Amino acid sequence: MNAARKALCLFPLLTLGASTAFPAVAEVSPRPNVVFVLVDDLGVGDLQKFPNIWNEFVRAGTGFDRFFVPNSWCCPSRASILRSQYVHSHGVLTNTAPEGGFERFHAKGLERSNIGVWMKNAGYRTALMGKYLNHYPGAAAPATHVPQGWDEWHVPVRRLYEEYGYTLNENGRLKAYGHAPEDYLTDVLSAKADAFVSKGDDPFFLYLAPVAPHLPANHAPRHAGAFAGHTAPRTPSFDQEDLSAEPRWLRGRKRLTPRRIEKIDEMYRDRLRAMLGVDDLVGSLVRALRAAGKLEDTYLFFGSDNGFHLGQHRLPQGKTTPFDESIRVPMYVRGPGIAPGRTIREVASSVDLAPTFAALAGARLPAFAEGRSLLPLLRGRTPASWRQNVLVEFHRPANPSSAAQTPVPPYRAMRTARHTFVRYATGEYQLYDLVADPYQLRNLAGKVPRSVIARFERQLDALAACSGASCRAADSVPPPAFTVPPPDPPPFDPPPPSPPSGPDGWESGPADTLWTGPAGGGL
């Protein structure tokens, strides 16, 4: 560690919800390096299967137990990360033009002010490697387009999800890669990331975005035999038995057939194999930082843009729903002054990431930012006005072919530490008590007094109308309290399972949708 860059910072490092105390003084650089590893479509769970991620993040860092995304679709979620804004504020509503995708982000001028620009203006050497925004660059910009704020830019412009046969925009020059084992995209990004963090002594910010485990979840040849026989987790919500109290879009879902479950398990194994490439990337990155003498002066963040269904609530695969399988994601942080093996239980959101990076760098945060820095929580302190809830918004694409990718109607939702409240454009509601019902099996919306729904709606309306600093006021209001109704008696004679919907009961479609098929999500 470079002694010229060191300063003593007093961190009140006491665990939240644990009795172990940590040293009160930690040696931390006033301008530390920041690395953000963002994977694609990874929900919570399974990290113990990846030794580097487990050891270098889960065991060596602090994790968030209640970390949520403001939209469970790739492009709106990533726009929120880049801008620290909820979806209604940045206006990138879906993955595709005209109301979403890279084209919308670019046309609205959002590239002029985001985390890359803020870190660059603070004197950081910056890089974005991997997935940027869906359909980049499309027809909105030349294939050589590099947004402002990034010193290094290594982003695929075609065949992103295939991980072979793609073309990279490498700092404004296009380079085609083939199908040899060494062309595997995650490995190529890993080598570029290692080189970036190893050179120079100036502080750097690396936004590293491999595409695993997004379908088709291609893996490196060396991982072809991994996880044989593994099956998707059979949680209580897997192939949920009773959907009678759910909104119409879900209530009509058929039970999973054996063939469909077999497909889910195959997909699960492919996703695990693809994540092994990310695990290798994490291990190599930490070794490169250690070899360069920079690991102790670097904050590393690991997270995902949204979760993914694998049979829960009868949903064979995909996202876009307000269930925790879609909106709750892993988030782990390690670095100087961060207690290892600790869990933070306060509610947090990916709109908080850019303010956290900016706080570490001493970067100026624009007034439009709606998140808040996670540093107090990471340093063992919960501010009195900390967030009580997060807003989740979902919009359907205007394009009929894109809208057909998901049956979920538009909705706004509020997730608190205890409750999920959802209001659909159809006029239907969902309300779950996560203490009594952690798997979201019992929709209480039709069982509580209408006054309870009205109180949740007022709070949700305030969140949906917020802008800039007013979001930090709207999200700090405690959620409504109510008495959970007693469980319903079991049905006397449950109906038989529905017949399959097709020849084998398996539905397919584009891969970046609720029901996925061979490719999709496209560039």
Residues forming a β-bridge with 25 = 10
Cis peptide before 480 (omega within 30 of 0): no
Cα–Cα distance measured from residue 245 to residue 432, given in angstroms and rounded to the nearest whole number: 12
For the stretch 126-157, what's the b/e string if a residue is b when 16 or more beta carbons lie within 10 angstroms of its beta carbon?
A: bbbbbbbbbbbbbebbeeebbbebbbbbbbbb
Cα–Cα distance measured from residue 268 to residue 61, given in angstroms and rounded to the nearest whole number: 26
**Do 12 and 24 contact (CB within 8 A), yes or no?**
yes
Q: Which of 246, 243, 168 is nearest to 209 (CA)?
A: 168
Q: Which residue has the tokens 């203006």?
A: 121
**Do 253 and 243 contact (CB within 8 A), yes or no?**
yes
∠ CA 464-468-472, nearest 5°, is 75
Helix boundaries (H) for 323-449: 324-327, 353-361, 375-378, 400-403
Which class for 435: exposed (0-12), middle (13-18), buried (19 or more C-beta within 10 A)?
Answer: exposed
Residue from 9, 74, 466, 471 carrying the catalytic annotation: 74
**Do 350 and 329 contact (CB within 8 A), yes or no?**
yes
Q: Which of 57, 61, 55 is nearest to 38 (CA)?
A: 57
74 assigned to active site: yes
Question: Parallel, antiparallel, or unpaired: how do β-strands 342-349 and 62-68 relate?
Answer: parallel
CA 10 to chain centre: 31
Q: Which residue has the tokens 């919960």?
A: 382
Cα–Cα distance measured from residue 388 to residue 385, given in angstroms and rounded to the nearest whole number: 8
DSSP state of 444: -
Residues annotated as part of the active site: 74
